[in-house]
Amino acid sequence: MDWRNIQDKGIGFAWKEKPMATGLDKYRGTQTYSLVYCRLLNAAREKEGVSYEEIGQIMGLEAHLGMTKEIGQLLGEINEDEHNNGRPMLSAVAVELTTRMPGEGFFQFAKQLKKFHGETDEDKREFWRNEIQRVYEIW
């Protein structure tokens, strides 16, 4: 595996191992990855949410059915990288406009990372509250 670094505002990190859940390096090392990562990081620092729609706009996506898949792919790559570097899922700040919570893909991905084992809506809310708090504490 090649070692790549992204430097943004003095934050450096490297991918130490092959990604575990997305299985695809579609966005890593791209400007799109960096722009979305920076927006999520700024939201974490401000303790605010970022809508999936805003993320789609940053990515230059038109509103369509495939948009969700592309956003999920990018957020999955970011989450893998954060996980591999011992940090919580940064995409906890990415939320649906209607619920102000992450979508189902967030929880499925957390299960793939073996971070979440719940099933009920309350389990999801509790996990998300804990994960977003960890994000806020780190950033």
Each residue of 34-92: pLDDT tens digit?
Answer: 999 999 999 999 999 999 999 999 999 987 777 999 999 999 999 999 999 999 999 99
Per-residue pLDDT band at 1 (split at 50, 70, 90): very low
Neighbouring CB atoms inside 10 A of 122's CB total 9
Q: How far is CA 16 from CA 6, 7, 20, 50, 111, in A?
A: 13, 16, 11, 28, 21
Confidence of residue 138 (pLDDT cuts 50, 70, 90): very high
| Average pLDDT of every residue of the chain | 87
pTM of the predicted structure, to 2 decimals: 0.82
Residues, the chain: 139
CA distance 39 to 50: 8
Cα(41)–Cα(21) distance, integer angstroms = 22
Q: What is the pLDDT of residue 100?
A: 94
The pLDDT confidence band at residue 14, using thresholds 50, 70 and 90, is: very low
> Burial code of 55-78, b = ≥16 C-beta within 10 A, e = fewer?
bbebbebeeeeebeebbbbbbbbb
Q: Amino acid identity of 101?
A: M
Its sign, for the CA torsion 22, 28, 84, 89, is: negative
Does residue 16 register a pLDDT over 50?
no
Q: Would you call 128 helix, strand, or coil by DSSP? A: helix
Q: Give the dihedral sign, CA 128/134/137/139.
A: negative
pLDDT score for 121: 96
